[in-house]
């Protein structure tokens, strides 16, 4: 049924397969019996294998078992779900929070819950696929503004009439590693809300790659007050080294989301053991700020050395460091070359991105030796410079 389509993918170097590891996730992984330095993980702080997370998860399993049995609204949740929501709301500086099963399910549930018929959404053109799908599932009209172009965003907002306007943006863009101009976007929304009797412009921030990377997240990074009209989504599956996601905001927003977001209402709750691991990760992040400093020291060293070699890192501002490769064929060759050198950095191709690249992700778990091996390998590779 799909044979011709699969032939097309293979012919155009767009076919993908899965490489399963037979080791834990970390800075070093084993695939097919061979060890590789792993530069493809979003485990930014290296917490996925931390003893505190493992211990908390095991203790929760002993008390609560593993499976949840049903959705939160059908008593599938535990007191650990409630505890994590209370702690993450305090962490985010908001009135309330709600746990989702993943960042993808959060965006595809929350956005349709917030945006109704007659509302208008304004979404950055490089927003994550889950935001794109959330917009498609909503009944609102969606306008795409040019990447990080606040003048274009403001022009679209001011010439559009709607009962409610919602600005959607990633804070850290997952394939480019750059940061949204949130100060400017916040100012636009603040000005619009100041002229209304009640705020009718919402700002929805996807902090998946910012939580635990830009300190507590993008609002702290930019010193922005968590206004009632700001909704923040974050994940536990990246810097927290666990799994799941959250939305943090005013109590009204969270109560509305709980009652209307289909991906929350109709999903079996995450296991209590996952909640316990996320709680342990949150406590570590709050107590050990050196982890974030270590992450950024590793990131800065990698960027400095890549730039010296003449590589184009495509405007990266974070531990996500894309390397421009020019073509799909060259991207695949580069990835294969690195693989032969014991470095795992998969090729990123359309439709994930418009322009192919190698996406290097640096974590606090990487050693100086790991980074030096990457730099040494790329210093001897002449195809993409």
| pLDDT band for position 9 (cuts 50, 70, 90) | very high
Tell me what pLDDT residue 197 has: 67
Structure confidence at residue 173 (pLDDT) = 98
Instruction: Using the structure block, give the residue that is written with the tokens 């705020």.
Output: 199
| Tens digits of residue pLDDT in 190-238 | 999 987 767 789 999 999 999 999 999 999 999 999 999 999 999 999 9
At 161 the pLDDT is 87
User: For residue 344, how many other CB atoms are within 10 A of its CB?
Assistant: 20
Mean per-residue pLDDT for 9-25?
A: 91
Ranges for all domains in the chain classified under CATH 3.90.1150.10: 3-38+289-379
The pair of three-digit structure tokens given for residue 381, joined into one six-digit string: 């590779």
174 is catalytic: yes
Domain 51-287 has CATH 3.40.50.150: no
* pLDDT band with cut points at 50, 70 and 90 for residue 383: low
131 close to 271: Cβ distance less than 8 angstroms: no
* Amino acid 288: pLDDT: 78
Is the pLDDT assigned to residue 105 strictly greater than 90?
Answer: yes
Q: Is residue 273 annotated as part of the catalytic site, yes or no?
A: no
Q: Rounded mean pLDDT of the chain?
A: 95
Cα gap 246→267, rounded to integer Å: 14
pLDDT in tens, 61-103: 999 999 999 999 999 999 999 999 999 999 999 999 999 999 9
- Nearest-angstrom CA–CA distance, 138 and 309: 46
Q: Which residue has the tokens 């501002």?
A: 317
Nearest-angstrom CA–CA distance, 53 and 275: 10
**Average pLDDT for 294-312:** 97
Q: At 64, list the tokens.
A: 């609560």
Question: pLDDT by residue (tens digit) across 133-177?
Answer: 999 999 999 999 999 999 999 999 999 988 899 999 999 999 999
Q: C-alpha distances in angstroms, 191 versus 19, 46, 187? A: 49, 40, 6
**Distances, alpha carbon 154 to alpha carbons 40, 73, 118, 169, 232, in Å:** 36, 39, 19, 14, 21
The average pLDDT across 324-338 equals 95
The CATH code that applies to domain 3-38+289-379 is: 3.90.1150.10
| Measured distance CA(115)–CA(138) in Å, rounded | 6
Q: Which part of the chain has CATH 3.40.640.10?
A: 51-287
| Active-site choice (50, 209, 216, 221) | 209
Of 174, 242, 267, 316, which one is the catalytic site residue?
Answer: 174
Q: How far apart are the first and last CA of the chain?
A: 41
- Ramachandran region, residue 93 (left: φ > 0; alpha: ψ -120 to 50; beta: rest): left
Question: How are strands ordered across the β-sheet holding 320-324?
Answer: 320-324, 357-361, 347-348
pLDDT above 70: percentage of residues in the chain: 99
Q: What is the per-residue burial (b if ≥16 Cβ within 10 Å, else e) of 24-49?
A: ebbbbbeeeeeebbbbbbbbbbbbbe
pLDDT computed for residue 116 by the predictor:
92
Instruction: Please state the rounded mean pLDDT for residues 274-283.
Output: 98
Q: pTM value?
A: 0.94
Q: Which of 216, 238, 242, 267 is catalytic?
A: 238
Please say if 163 is a catalytic residue: no
Digit-coded pLDDT (tens) for 27-50: 999 999 999 999 999 999 999 999
By CB atoms closer than 10 A (0-12, 13-18, 19+), residue 222 is middle
Summarize the confidence of residues 182-188 as an average pLDDT.
97
Residue 380's pLDDT is 84
Instruction: Write out pLDDT tens, residues 338-373.
Output: 999 999 999 999 999 999 999 999 999 999 999 999
């Amino acid at each position: 049924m799909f044979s011709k389509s699969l032939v097309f993918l293979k012919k155009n170097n767009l076919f993908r397969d899965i490489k399963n590891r037979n080791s834990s996730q970390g800075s070093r992984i084993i695939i097919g019996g061979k060890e590789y330095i792993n530069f493809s993980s979003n485990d930014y702080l290296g917490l996925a294998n931390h003893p505190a997370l493992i211990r908390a998860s095991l203790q929760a399993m002993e008390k609560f078992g593993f499976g949840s049995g049903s959705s939160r609204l059908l008593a599938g949740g535990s007191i650990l779900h409630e505890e994590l929501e209370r702690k993450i709301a305090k962490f985010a500086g908001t009135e309330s929070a709600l746990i989702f099963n993943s960042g993808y399910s959060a965006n595809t549930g929350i956005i349709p819950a917030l945006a109704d018929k007659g509302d208008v959404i304004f979404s950055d053109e490089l927003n994550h696929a889950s935001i794109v799908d959330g917009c498609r599932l909503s009944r609102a009209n969606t306008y795409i503004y040019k990447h990080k172009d606040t003048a274009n965003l403001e022009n679209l907002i001011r010439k559009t009439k709607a009962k409610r306007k919602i600005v959607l943006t990633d804070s850290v863009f997952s394939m480019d590693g750059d940061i949204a101009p949130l100060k400017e976007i916040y100012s636009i929304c603040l000005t619009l809300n100041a002229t209304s009797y009640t705020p009718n412009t919402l700002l929805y921030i996807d902090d998946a790659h910012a939580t635990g990377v830009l300190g507590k997240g993008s609002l702290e990074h930019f010193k922005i007050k968590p206004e009632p009209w700001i909704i923040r989504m974050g994940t536990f599956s990246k810097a927290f080294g666990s799994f799941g996601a959250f939305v943090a905001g005013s109590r009204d927003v969270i109560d509305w989301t709980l009652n209307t977001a289909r991906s929350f209402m109709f999903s079996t709750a995450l296991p209590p053991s996952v909640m316990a691991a996320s709680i342990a990760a949150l406590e570590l992040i709050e107590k050990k700020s050196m982890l974030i400093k270590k992450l950024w020291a590793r990131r800065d060293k990698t960027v400095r050395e890549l730039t010296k070699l003449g590589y184009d890192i495509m405007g990266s501002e974070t531990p996500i460091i894309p390397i421009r490769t020019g073509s799909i064929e060259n991207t695949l060759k580069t990835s294969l070359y690195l693989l032969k050198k014991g470095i795992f950095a998969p090729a990123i191709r359309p439709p994930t991105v418009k322009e192919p690249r190698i996406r290097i992700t640096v974590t606090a778990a990487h050693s100086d030796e790991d980074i030096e091996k990457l730099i040494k390998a790329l210093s001897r590779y002449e195809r993409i410079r």
